[in-house]
Structure 1
Amino acid sequence: MTRPGRKTIDAFAHMPLFEVLAPAEQRIPFVFNSPHSGRIYPNDFLAASRLDEMTIRRSEDSHVDELFAFVTPFGAPLLRANFPRAWLDVNREPYELDPLMFDGALPPYANSRSLRVAGGLGTIARVVSENMEIYAEPLSVADALQRIETVYKPYHERLRALLGTTFETFGFAVLIDCHSMPSSVRALPGRIRADFVLGDRYGSSCASELSEAVHGFLTAEGYSVARNKPYAGGFITEHYGRPTRGIHALQIEINRGLYMNERTLQKSAGFHKVAADLARLVHHISTLPDAGLHPLPLAAE
Structure 2
Amino acid sequence: MSADSTGNETEGAKAHEEPRRDFNPPFTIAAPDIQTVPFALNSPHSGRIYPPAFLSASRLDALSIRRSEDSFVDEIFSGAPRLGAPMLKANFPRAYLDTNREPYELDPAMFHDALPPHANTRSVRVAGGLGTIARVVADSTEIYRAPLSYAEADHRIRTLYMPYHQALSDLLETTFRRFGCAVLLDCHSMPSHAGPFEDDMGTSRADIVLGDRYGVSAAPALTDTAERILTDLGYSVVRNTPYAGGFNTEHYGRPAQGLHALQIEINRALYMDEARVTRAAGLNRLTRDMGEFVARLALMDRAFLAPTSPPSALSAE
Same fold per superposition (TM over 0.5): yes
Equivalence map 1:129-168=2 (5 Å) = 129-168=138-177
Partner of 1:29: 38
CA gap 1:41/1:284 in 2 versus in 1, 3 angstroms: same
- The structural deviation recorded for 1:266 is 1.4
Partner of 1:2: 17
- For the Cα contact (< 8 Å) 2:192–2:204, is it kept in 1? no
Pairing 1:294–2:282 present: no
Partner of 1:78: 87
Which amino acid is the alignment partner of residue 192 of structure 2?
S
Gaps of 5+ in 2: 1-15, 311-317
Give the whole-Å Cα distance in 2 for the aligned partners of 1:201 and 1:289. 22
Pairing 1:122–2:131 present: yes
Secondary structure, aligned partner of 1:25:
coil
1:234-287 deviation line (CA, Å, top 9, x unaligned) = 000000000000000000000011011111211111011111111111111100
- The structural deviation recorded for 1:220 is 2.2
Secondary structure, aligned partner of 1:53:
coil
Give the whole-Å Cα distance in 1 for the aligned partners of 2:161 and 2:230. 32
Partner of 1:228: 240
Give the whole-Å Cα distance in 1 for the aligned partners of 2:215 and 2:203. 23
Backbone CA RMSD of aligned residues: 1.5
Partner of 2:290: 278
- The structural deviation recorded for 1:129 is 2.0
Gaps of 5+ in 1: none
Equivalent pairs counted in the alignment come to: 291
Give the whole-Å Cα distance in 1 for the aligned partners of 2:61 and 2:54. 11
Partner of 1:243: 255
Secondary structure, aligned partner of 1:143:
helix
TM-score (norm 1): 0.94
Identity between Structure 1 and Structure 2 (%): 58
Give the whole-Å Cα distance in 2 for the aligned partners of 1:187 and 1:31. 32
Secondary structure, aligned partner of 1:87:
coil
CA gap 1:214/1:93 in 2 versus in 1, 3 angstroms: same
- For the Cα contact (< 8 Å) 1:197–1:231, is it kept in 2? yes
1:30-73 deviation line (CA, Å, top 9, x unaligned) = 00000000000011111100000100001000000000000011
Paired residue for 1:209, among 221, 228, 232? 221
Give the whole-Å Cα distance in 2 for the aligned partners of 1:61 and 1:191. 20
